[in-house]
Structure 1
Amino acid sequence: MGTDDHKQVVLQVGAVLKKLRKEQQWSLEDLSKISGVSKLTLGNIERGETNPTLGMLWKISKSLSVPLMELFATENRVSLSRAGQGLSIAEDGDNWVIEPIFQNVSNENEMFRAYLQPNSSYYPEKHHPNTTELATVMSGKVQINVNNESYILNQYDSISFRADGTHSYINDSNDVVVLHIILKYPPNN
């Protein structure tokens, strides 16, 4: 994604965040108290002056009780999602990168391509209450830990679990692991 495209996404996230916050009739201070993200940082995000981390976006979406991808919502009604093109969000020094798939499908499901770099791990924030995460390994082999239980998944293996508890992804190999992830939110989250 080019610099101009990236800046446009940052501005779009800011505008959507401001709209969602105002719909709830919250001040920046209100959202800061609920989310744990500083008022200054929230203001910078809303003005498109900072690139928020994935962890911050999870905290904000959880506090607003909206799916993560709602922060990236656009008005387009037709979407084409090509791997490696469009929006990507990196976390943990680029060890974990997600690409949203069909951002505007519904408020109850979100789909991502996720890339876990060789010999790295990712420990996401707990998701919204009663959220289910479904992950399918598209290439590679990954260890997924869910509430102190470990599962090894090979190519095309899938797992489903409650994502509002602790979970992590570990790649002990020398190859990038590619995953297809669906987050299923409860109705009226």
Structure 2
Amino acid sequence: MDVNLIVAENFKAIRENKKLSLDQVAKLTGVSKSMLGQIERGEVNPTIAVVWKIANGLKISFTSLLDHVKNDVELVKKEEISPLVEDEGKFINYPVFHFDESRKFEQYIIEIKPGGSIKSEPHLMGTEEFVTAFDGEVVINVAGRDFKLSDKDSIHFRSDTTHSYRNDGDQPVTLHMTIYYN
């Protein structure tokens, strides 16, 4: 299923479950009512930043908006994932395992091409990220401090503060990321 339609269905269901109007969601998230309407109808491909604004404003996990039917065993093939693309295709986010209330985390594979970057707004209070780099190097800035990761280096940090990822190198970097909601 197309990621836009999944986001549309989930956003509408969450909004209706919380008994919120589009106006109320706009005030909570900082995303315009017209953009929210387009997202809910599946007419636009929302950016990662917009999905995070909606998730934070509604106090839900990022992947609550990307969730799909769960099975006892879930095999995820990369080619079957609808990636979220930012920075003119230089930052690609593959949501692998979506948030589940019973396990409190979600996992991603991130690919950042040379020169690619993304700035992330603070996540929900108490949220933590666990990141491991593979191939290449990445600079992760957490609350104004830069941390450089090379192949198989890992970092853990509270992500309820501003943080960013950038690839200053000349080769792509792949990251494995787990976001834990405390």
What TM-score bracket applies, with the shorter chain setting the length?
Answer: over 0.9
Residues 83-102 of structure 1: matches in 2 within 5 Å?
Answer: 83-102=78-97
The one-letter amino acid paired with 2:137 is K
- Which secondary structure state, in structure 1, belongs to the residue aligned with residue 155 of structure 2? strand
Report whether the alignment pairs 1:23 with 2:17.
yes
Q: Give the Cα–Cα distance (whole angstroms) in 2 for the partners of residues 24 and 90 of structure 1.
A: 29
Number of the residue aligned with 2:60: 66
1:131 aligns with 2:121: no
Two-structure CA RMSD over aligned residues (Å): 1.5
**Letter of the 2:46 counterpart:** P
Answering whether residue 43 of structure 2 is matched by residue 55 of structure 1, we say no
Amino acid at match of 2:176: H
Residue 178 in 1 paired to residue 174 in 2? yes
TM-score, with length taken from structure 1: 0.89
Match of 1:14 in 2: 8
Distance apart, 1:121 and its partner CA: 2.1
Q: Would you say the 8 A contact 2:118–2:166 is kept in 1?
A: yes
AA aligned to 2:87 is D
Query: How many residues are treated as equivalent by the alignment?
Result: 180
CA contact (8 A) 1:74 1:104 kept: no
Gap regions ≥5 residues in structure 2: none
Shift of residue 19 of structure 1? 0.6
d(CA) in 2 for partners of 1:84, 1:181: 18
Rounded to whole Å, the distance in 2 between the matches of 1:116 and 1:85 is 19
- The TM-score, its normalising length taken from structure 2, stands at 0.92
Report runs of 4+ in structure 1 exceeding 6 Å deviation: none
Stretches of structure 1 lacking an aligned partner (at least 5 in a row): none
Note the C-alpha offset of 1:92.
1.8
Question: What is the match of residue 164 of structure 1?
Answer: 160
2:84 counterpart letter in structure 1: I
The corresponding residue for 1:39 is 33
Q: Shift of residue 119 of structure 1?
A: 2.2
CA contact (8 A) 1:95 1:122 kept: no
In the alignment, is the contact (CA less than 8 A) between 1:141 and 1:177 conserved in 2?
yes
Note the alpha carbon deviations across 1:108-150, whole angstroms, 9 max, x for none. Answer: 1010000111123221222111110111002211111111211
